[in-house]
Amino acid sequence: MARLRISRSAGALLLLGLFAVSACRDTGGAEDAFFEVGGKLFVFNYRVATARYLVNLNPLRPIEAGQTAVARFEDPAGGDDIEVRQAIWPKLSKTTIESPPVRCVVKDRPYKVSIRIEGPEGKLLQSIETTITSSENQDLLPDRPLVVGPFYTSNPDLAGRPDGKLPGEDQATCPAAT
């Protein structure tokens, strides 16, 4: 009897996990979608003091050569959206779109991301709208990269400062968290 309870519990956890994963996916709402969002997050690289958006797109059908993903990421520092064009390679199991480094990321604030899937002639095939929310504030990153050069040499600017913070460092003016 105890074995049956474990199986039911494991089954319930598996179903809950599958529901949670499926609830996180954005497909753009179309039944004939080309891609779905397989994952999305902010990547904080403490070693080089950068934060970036990262979105994975999973194909839902065969991909034609020449397709392009055009992503527009909300700039956390304000200003115009950041646009990234990414070629979609037909033989890859996913397409990863990564932004250049961004500043002023705030914990628990949703940032807008729009992705256009374009055909070889630039024709719109699919639009995907989603948001990405960080679990951390960007101020946890050091003021400058911790290492420099190809051999990961300690940054001499941060000597004696293991937290990577410099007193009086000219910090970017970030918009107030809303």
User: How confident is the model at residue 165, as a pLDDT?
Assistant: 87
pTM for the complete prediction? 0.78
> With contact defined as beta carbons under 8 Å apart, do 69 and 88 qualify?
yes
- CATH second-level architecture of 24-155? Sandwich (2.60)
User: How confident is the model at residue 42, as a pLDDT?
Assistant: 97
Residue 142, both tokens: 């050091």
What is 94-152 written as a DSSP string? -EEEEPPPB----BT-EEEEEEEEE-TTS-EEEEEEEEEEBSS-GGGS-SS-SEETTTT
User: How confident is the model at residue 40, as a pLDDT?
Assistant: 98
User: How confident is the model at residue 87, as a pLDDT?
Assistant: 96
User: How confident is the model at residue 173, as a pLDDT?
Assistant: 77
User: How confident is the model at residue 114, as a pLDDT?
Assistant: 98
Judging by beta carbons within 10 Å of its beta carbon (0-12, 13-18, 19+), is residue 72 exposed, middle or buried? middle
Q: Give the tens place of pLDDT for each residue, 43-74.
A: 999 999 999 999 999 999 999 999 999 999 99
User: How confident is the model at residue 12, as a pLDDT?
Assistant: 40
Domain ranges of the chain: 24-155
pLDDT beneath 50: ranges in the chain? 1-28
Separation of alpha carbons 90 and 95, rounded Å: 9
User: How confident is the model at residue 170, as a pLDDT?
Assistant: 55
